[in-house]
Chains A and B, each alone.
Chain A
Amino acid sequence: MPDAPRIRIEDLDVRYRTRDGWVSALEGITLDVVPRSFVSVVGPSGCGKTTLLKVVSGILRPSGGRVLLDGGPIDPVALAGQFGFVFQRPLLLPWRTALDNVALTAEIVQKERPRADRLAEARRWLELTGLKGFEGRYPHELSGGMQQRVSLARALTFRPRVLLMDEPFAALDEITREAMQGELLKIWAHIENTIVFITHSISEAVLLSERVVILTPRPGRVQEILDVPFPRPRSEALRGERGFTELVEHIRARLRVEGASGGPQG
């Protein structure tokens, strides 16, 4: 069965308690993510995208339904080191150089591996993310885009099964953001990780991913799952193609309809 899902989300509910009673963040989410695939989740702010990532990685327990990783339940202890995270902010350690920041994750996950080995691997990832020559720099000596590349290298160096990216380029300026998208496409050609990518940029989702999951605003439900047919490897040239623009427009229309009828948007 070549297409056994890496991540299977079954009828997932997440509710949490507020002063006004129970609020439903996610409702009836069902989704399969195939190994090595790139899935984007788009939706208006506050539709529970980040909550979804937390449940998938075992940080948050679902109120109903279940999440399976390679057929097994998500157990925080047994699954330690299976997920790499990239957040909206780089969240690097300011007292560590770029290289040591990248090596941090491997220090924890691959303790048995010799230090020199881990550093060599970290160096390789810095090179892949286009930061050769910046190994000895501290985070404050790097630009926002470069910091985010370090963050990406840190999430990949210990070879997690799944890479979870939570609006990783949202805090960057537009020019840097587009450069980073192109960079991620290049890196994607080299890696075997399954990627779940959260974004509120429609064109970013279409450019990068093979499937786009559209969520509704509060509570987040799966509105539509779209296959993006463009072949790998992709490049930024895709932005100019007709099919690309059509897909973007389609998703935009879906989000707008739902936004208009679905109450306030954050």
Chain B
Amino acid sequence: MKREGYLSGLAGQAGVFLAFFVAWEVFVRGTGMKEVILPTPTATFATLWAKRAYLLGHTWPTVVAIVVGFLIAAASGFLIAIGIAYSRWINELTYPFLVAAQVVPKIALAPLFLIWFGVGVLPKVVIAALIAFFPIVINTAKGLTSVEPELLQFMHSLGATWREVFFKISLPWALPYVFAACKISITLAVVGAVVGEFIASDVGLGYVINYANITLETKTMFAGLLLLSAVGILLFLAIVLLERYCLSWQASVETTPETL
């Protein structure tokens, strides 16, 4: 029963994509829109296939920038969250600054990073990391501090060390929060890396999209966009799979396997 539900869920999800592409195709053909304004999905997929070597060659640098930026954000966010969760001093000192830093639009800093770091890998990794960082900190800190105080008191009355409490109780308790944050952050890292490539890169899908836009090769631009969303979806799925593996005890809690 469950397997059937899962498969029909997948079929439904594929159906939504298909309906979207069909509507798009019908719209473009029906309105007679010019290819340079909006190419049909069939033309886009044809371009994707024709230029596959060029496009895939530019996909890899973008993936690296997203993943590296995300990992930096996850690692540093996690450590700072531990500080915030366990030290009132760190919490009160850093929280206002974190919020202030978060409201600065990181995308607007991209031109500055071009000046600081030049053209290359660094600016896009930095933007991706900065933009992905905040949800990790907030969620992890929230997860670590949401452990039931009575349970902690019990553990302390047993003589549990800080280490035992952290690894046996608090960390696993916070993991669902951490994964929820990672899912948001990985998609933000995609945005960050692409913005970096718009401004300070001569490789990557962001560069391809920007360049195709300038040269009015709209089909290539759309092909790049499709590839970029495919990358984003795959990275998101990778986190979902990791989450399923780490939180396998939750497996039977979930009633709708199609919700990611």
Contacts and interface: CB of A to CB of B under 8 A. Distances in A.
B172 A80 contact: no
Contact of B154 (A85, A89, A138): A85
B150 interface: yes
Contact of A140 (B153, B158, B168, B253): B253
A93 B171 CA distance: 12
B256 interface: no
Interface residues of B, number: 21
Nearest to A87: B150
Interface string B242-260: 0000010110110000000
Contacts of A225: none
Given A59-B153, A91-B150, A93-B172, A80 B159 contact: yes
B213 to A, nearest CB: 48
A58 interface: yes
A105 B158 contact: yes
A93 B169 contact: yes
Interface string A48-87: 0000001001110000000000000000110011010101
A107 interface: yes
Contacts of B112: none
B150 A108 contact: no
B68 interface: no
B31 interface: no
A108 B169 contact: no
Interface residues of A, number: 26
Contacts of B107: none
A150 interface: no
A85 B154 CA distance: 7
Contacts, number: 55
B158 A95 contact: no
B215 interface: no
Contacts of A95: 172, 247, 249
B252 A76 contact: no
A104 B249 CA distance: 17
B250 to A, nearest CB: 8
Nearest to A88: B150
B151 interface: yes
A94 interface: yes
Contact of B148 (A91, A104, A109, A140): A91
Given A93-B169, A108-B164, A80 B249 contact: no
Interface string A89-116: 1010111100000001101110000000
A141 interface: yes
A93 B151 CA distance: 10
Contacts of A94: 249-250
B157 A138 contact: no
Contacts of A138: 249, 252
Given A91-B148, A91-B151, A107-B168, A81 B158 contact: yes
B156 interface: yes
Given A107-B168, A140-B252, A140-B253, A76 B158 contact: no
B155 interface: yes
B160 interface: yes
Contacts of B151: 91
Contact of A104 (B159, B168, B173, B250): B168
A108 B155 CA distance: 8
Contacts of B172: 93, 95
Contact of B158 (A54, A80, A141): A80
B146 to A, nearest CB: 13
Given A95-B172, A104-B168, A141-B252, A77 B159 contact: yes
A83 B157 contact: yes
Given A93-B169, A94-B249, A109 B150 contact: no
A85 B157 contact: yes
Given A59-B157, A80-B159, A109-B158, 10 more contacts: A81-B158, A85-B150, A85-B157, A93-B168, A95-B247, A107-B168, A108-B159, A109-B159, A140-B252, A141-B252
Interface of A: 54, 57-59, 76-77, 80-81, 83, 85, 87, 89, 91, 93-96, 104-105, 107-109, 138, 140-141, 158
The 4 lowest CB-CB distance pairs between A and B, nearest first, are: A80-B159, A95-B249, A108-B158, A85-B154
